[in-house]
Structure 1
Amino acid sequence: MPNNRSQRIDVLTLKDILIPSPNSIEIDDSIDTDRISGNDTVIHAGCRLFGSQTLICDGVELGAEVPVTIKNCFVGPNVKLKGGYFENCVFLEGAEAGSGAHVRAGTIFEEQASIAHTVGLKQTILFPFVTLGSLINFCDCLMAGGTSRKNHSEVGSSYIHFNYTPNQDKATASLIGDVPNGVMLNQNPIFLGGQGGLVGPCRIAYGTVIAAGSIYRKDVLKPDHLVFEGGGRGGSVPYTTGIYRAVKRQATNNIVYMANLFALMAWYTHIRGLFVGERFPKALYQGLIDTLKTAIDERTKRFSAFCEKLQHSLQLYEKQMGDSASGKLVQQKKELIANQNLVVERIGENLAQIETYANPKFISIIEKKIAVCDPVYIDVIKSLDHVQAQLGTQWLQQIVERMVAQMLDLFPSLR
């Protein structure tokens, strides 16, 4: 083979894969061809593969509509990536992406999650069945809800998750659903109507419908509500970039989000790991764990950057407000500035102990169900009865609550 950095695929290089136009497929020298399966896999003309971590499982189809570029992605069985750019992300069995996708680091598509054409994602986690329409930017979110492909959470076309503030921070991740209930695949779906947007960081309960055209800026903590926003009032008021006039909700929602990611890590470690096998190879599982660690690292970094900005904000705020500066707000900022590093330490300590965050009774239930039927993740989880599912939810909810309590102990004024 030539020594140049990348080369056109030789039919013999990936001999078991259907390549309609083999001379038009490019594979980088970094690719480990042993990590690319050939059973019922199709790679169409123009596709490009990069990265030593890239994994492609059985039944995958790449580039059916337009070429696909993949870099260090973990692509599970029967995934269809119809066109676009994908880097450092994970696709579990049956996930799909339409053409024009731009999917980057920290993104996880769980089973049968899908996006239509021209969707941008980064640091986004979609639970099974979650569906996004077209022309969407949906970075820094976790979305769950729904029970099947016919009853799923959905984001309407032309939707935006606003994840960057005028104060130039991205501590804005939104929790649409949650982990303890969402992993049980038994919750009412959430619908975010098209031509709208969500201004992060938000928390949205199951069963919520946000009407089309709404730019929503609030939390929806009560389930099964229709919410909507009218046109905003016009106006012009003095504004100073860099001053945070409220921090409690932003800080608290970030803490809750991080705690949910930690609960998801416990679920992946103790439950997802039980499914490793032919349909869920160990390399795919490891990619899932590593990508979730990336997501936790991202949220920790963004929270720390937010806290660092509060020192300058505090100086500007006290200079502008003088004696009328709010004592409570000042105290909240000082606590966040002083204790931000302890948040990082506590997250690291808890991750190091993830193996101890197990619920043996619930694990035993899953093991028994796997033993008597095919180890298909969705089928096993959906076979749980109400009492069994509640046991799993309570286990994960306790993890979330414990993590949140640990964090808020550092910031008493946020309570």
Structure 2
Amino acid sequence: MKNKSTDMVNLNTPIIGDEVDRTRIGKKATIHPGCRLLGSKTLICDGAELGFEAPVTVNNCYIGPNVKLKGGYFENAVFLEGAEAGSGAHVRSGTIFEEQASIAHTVGLKQTVLFPFVTLGSLINFCDCFMAGGTSRKNHSEVGSSYIHFNYTPNQDKATASLIGDVPNGVMLNQNPIFLGGQGGLVGPCRIAYGTLIAAGSVYRKDQLKPDRLVFEGGGRGGSVPYSTGIYRNVKRQAFNNIVYLANLVALMAWYTHIRRRFIGERFPQALYEGLIDTLHLAISEKIKRFTGFCEKLKESGKLYQQQMGDSASANLILQKDQLVNNRDQAGDLIRRCLDSIDSYQNQAFLSIIRRQIDRVGPGYIDVIKSLDTDEASQGTLWLQQIVDEVTGRMLALFPAIR
């Protein structure tokens, strides 16, 4: 029997794929033995450290200065200055860590945006979320350990992204933090206001739109009732929350395009900015796909619902489903047109404020944003909220029955 040779990997050095552009790896970055670098887009800035606790695999990620990825797998994600991830991380496509956002060990993320300072504990699955809130590393939004964002429905769709905070207020870094208590869960799609504290052990299924509230869920009553997969009995909330989520991502693109790029420099290089824009485009495309897929399912759902309910079927629910089915492609086209015209979403007065503060405070993003006074921050929030409201209104015009 012929012996077959085995390709042995030298674990004493990092493994760098042939496609990786080595000029995009900072000379002052620390990459520990056993790490793998893959992907032609991969960028690793000076001061970054990979693999201190366990091997790290990076595939087409954009890693900013002083980022620490301690162990795990990272693909098509962005990490801005000072972000951190503990061992066992599984961070996938469409994920953005803004400055000083962090996760502890064994956390799974996909299509998730974490604003500055947001902290996730250990043993967490938090896919398809946006989370903001807090003012510093000492006063930050947090998700307790062993938390789950439930992002897959019994009807087998993932149009379930949750908005924990929002973009217009969150970018100003002046909101009360949000706390999601450990050993709990959030059933998407939800919208959660700033200052919300969801008690540990709660599986929360509602929107909490009033700020600064303690909310909790007790043990549910047991039972057994008839159930048919594929029949959506309430589509209004799911559709509306998806629309608001998409509108917030359009506002975030406007913020990145008109404000973030003013900070390009040593701490925020051009290549990192480009990666941020590309990743947000990727995230928005995924959300359009999931929303469209949800709408497509409603065609069959409508038939099943009417067969089951007969004369007692809700005419309004049938109308909602018909509009979502018939206009689903127009919704995606509308969001793409908004992105194509993102340059038009500009506020010169607020941009002038940012330029003045950069000249006064320096080039640091966090320092400049936190230097804004209440009136200045309100101007920026109003600008972004107008974008959210405009995009939401245009989307709802396609589906008037869910207003």
Residue in 2 that maps onto 1:16: none
The aligned counterpart of 1:34 is 23
Matched, 1:196 2:184: yes
* 1:132 has 2:120 as partner: yes
Post-superposition shift, 1:155?
A: 0.1
Counterpart amino acid of residue 31 in structure 1: V
Could you list the per-position Cα deviations for residues 45-103 of structure 1 after superposition, in whole angstroms to 9, with x for gaps in the alignment? 11000000000001011101000000000000000000000000000000000000000
SS across alignment from 1:239: coil
1:34 partner amino acid: T
1:66 corresponding residue in structure 2:
54
Q: Find the counterpart in structure 2 of residue 17 from structure 1.
A: none
* Residue 396 (structure 1) aligned to one of 384, 391, 402: 384
Aligned counterpart, 1:186:
174
Q: Is the 8 A contact 1:7 1:26 kept in 2?
A: no
Counterparts of 1:50 and 1:65 in 2: how far apart (Å)? 20
Q: Which moved more, 1:343-352 or 1:146-155?
A: 343-352
144, 147, 164: which one pairs with 2:132? 144
Query: 1:190-225 CA distances to partner (integer Å, 9 max, x unpaired)?
Result: 000000000000000000000000000000000000
Give the CA deviation at 1:24. 2.6
C-alpha displacement of 1:38: 1.3
Supply the AA of the counterpart residue of 1:145.
Answer: G
1:30-52, Cα deviation, whole Å (9 max, x unpaired): 1100000012x211111000000
1:176 matched to 2:167? The reply is: no
Residue number among 241, 245, 252 corresponding to 1:253 in the alignment:
241
Unpaired runs of at least 5, structure 2: 1-6
2:270 counterpart of 1:282: yes
Q: Distance in 1 between matches of 2:8 and 2:333?
A: 45
Q: Distance in 1 between matches of 2:372 and 2:353?
A: 9
Q: CA deviation at 1:144?
A: 0.1
8 A contact 1:117–1:133 mirrored in 2: yes
**Amino acid paired to 1:161:** H
Matches within 5 A, 1:221-260: 221-260=209-248
Distance 1:130 1:61 in 2: 20
1:411 equivalent to 2:399? Answer yes
Pick aligned residue for 2:14 from 8, 20, 25: 25
Residue 266 of structure 2: SS of its match in structure 1? coil
Does structure 2 retain, via aligned residues, the 8 Å contact 1:197–1:215? yes
Task: State whether residues 89 and 291 of structure 1, in contact with CA within 8 Å, keep that contact through their aligned partners in structure 2.
Answer: yes
For 1:129 and 1:389, the matched residues in 2 are separated by 18
Distance in 2 of aligned mates of 1:82 and 1:32: 22
Identify the residue that residue 55 of structure 1 maps to in structure 2: 43
Matches within 5 A, 1:327-346: 327-346=315-334
Deviations 1:300-325 (A, max 9, x none): 00000000000000000000000100
Determine the C-alpha separation between the residues in 2 that align with 1:325 and 1:216. Answer: 29
Q: Tell me if the contact between 1:86 and 1:101 (Cα under 8 Å) persists in the aligned partners.
A: yes
Q: What's the counterpart of residue 90 of structure 1?
A: 78
Aligned to 2:256: 268
Q: Distance in 2 between matches of 1:31 and 1:344?
A: 33
Partner of 2:3: none
Is the CA contact (8 Å cut-off) linking 1:7 and 1:27 kept in structure 2? no
- Structure 2 letter corresponding to 1:27: I
Identity of paired residues, percent?
Answer: 73
Residue aligning to 2:146: 158
Q: Distance in 1 between matches of 2:55 and 2:389?
A: 45
Instruction: Please state how far the C-alpha of 1:348 moved relative to its aligned partner.
Output: 1.1
Preserved contact between residue 113 and residue 129 of structure 1 (Cα < 8 Å): yes
Q: Distance in 2 between matches of 1:53 and 1:413?
A: 43
1:7 CA drift (Å): 10
Structure 1 window deviating more from structure 2 (112-121 vs 42-51): it is: 42-51
Other structure's SS at 1:120 match: strand
Aligned mates of 1:7, 1:399 — CA distance in 2 = 54
SS of residue paired to 1:189 = coil
Aligned positions of 1:208-223 closer than 5 A: 208-223=196-211
Aligned to 1:18: none
2:316 partner letter: K
CA 1:7–1:62 in 2, change beyond 3 Å: closer, same or farther? farther
In the other structure, the counterpart of 2:342 is 354
Q: Partner of 2:296 in structure 1?
A: 308
Report the TM-score when normalising by structure 1: 0.94
Q: Secondary structure at the residue paired with 1:152?
A: coil
> Equivalent residue of 2:173, what SS?
coil
Q: Secondary structure at the match of 2:57?
A: strand
Counterpart for residue 43 of structure 1: 31
Distance in 1 (CA, whole Å) between partners of 2:174 and 2:24 is 34
CA distance in 1, matches of 2:384, 2:364: 21
Q: Distance in 1 between matches of 2:40 and 2:276?
A: 16
How far is 1:373 from its partner? 2.8
